[in-house]
Every structure is written in structure tokens, then in C-alpha cells.
Amino acid sequence: MAHVRRKTHSRKTAARKGTKRASPKRWSQRVTKESDALDLKHGVFKLTSAKKIATSLKRSAEHSARRKTGAYRSALSMLTFYINRAGKTLPQTQRTRLERAKVELKRVFGRE
């Protein structure tokens, strides 16, 4: 009986995938631009210094009229979102820089 349920479930899942339109390819880019999290400076995640990234995120978070939570939380969320969405395609040097930016963000917000 359990085997039948799995088989039925997989058909439903397959049918659902076939009928539902795929979301736009760059939905994460749209989220970064249009979300209520922050008004980001263009190219902030491409900056060469973890400290510059952190201070830019802090500035954006503190001046954003779109965020719904605290400045630190919004900045950290956007940084984490970017790292997670880049996934395996993010070069190791940039990933390391962005991870250091998390530590710097904590420092610039006085949350050490």
C-alpha cells in the first residue's frame, strides 16, 4: 500500500511541475533589487574589502526606508542571501571575503 502512495505522489508532483510555469531565471536578482530588505549600492558584493562591504551594507541598512526589521538583521540577511544564492558558482576568494564581511558587519554594528 505504501508503494502505491509513493507512486501516486510522484505522479502528482510530476504533473504539478509540468503545469506550473517556471519562475524567471534571475528571480534572486529581482529579490535583491525589489525586496523590502534594503536599498543596496550597486556592486556592493563585488567590493575588494570585507570592511568596505560591511560598511556599505551598514550604510544601506540604516538609510533604507524599505526594511521591515533592524538594520543589522537586514544587512546580515542580504549578505547571507547573496552567498547562498551564488552557491557553488561563487569563487572561493570571493566567498572567503563575504564570510569575513559577516564578521566585519558584526563589528561595525558593535555586536562583537
9 against 78, higher pLDDT: 78
Torsion of CA 61, 56, 73, 102, to 10 degrees: 180
What's the pLDDT at 69?
84
Percentage of the chain beyond pLDDT 70 is 70
Distance CA 29, CA 67 (A): 17
What's the pLDDT at 76?
92
Q: What is the mean pLDDT of residues 60-72?
A: 84
Backbone angles phi, psi at 85, to 5 degrees: -70, -30
What's the pLDDT at 67?
75
61 against 5, higher pLDDT: 61
What's the pLDDT at 65?
79
Confidence of residue 32 (pLDDT cuts 50, 70, 90): low
Cβ 83 vs Cβ 44: under 8 Å = no
- Whole-number mean pLDDT of the chain? 79
Q: Could you read off the pLDDT of 95-110 as tens digits, one per residue?
A: 999 999 999 999 999 8
pTM summary value = 0.67
What's the pLDDT at 99?
95
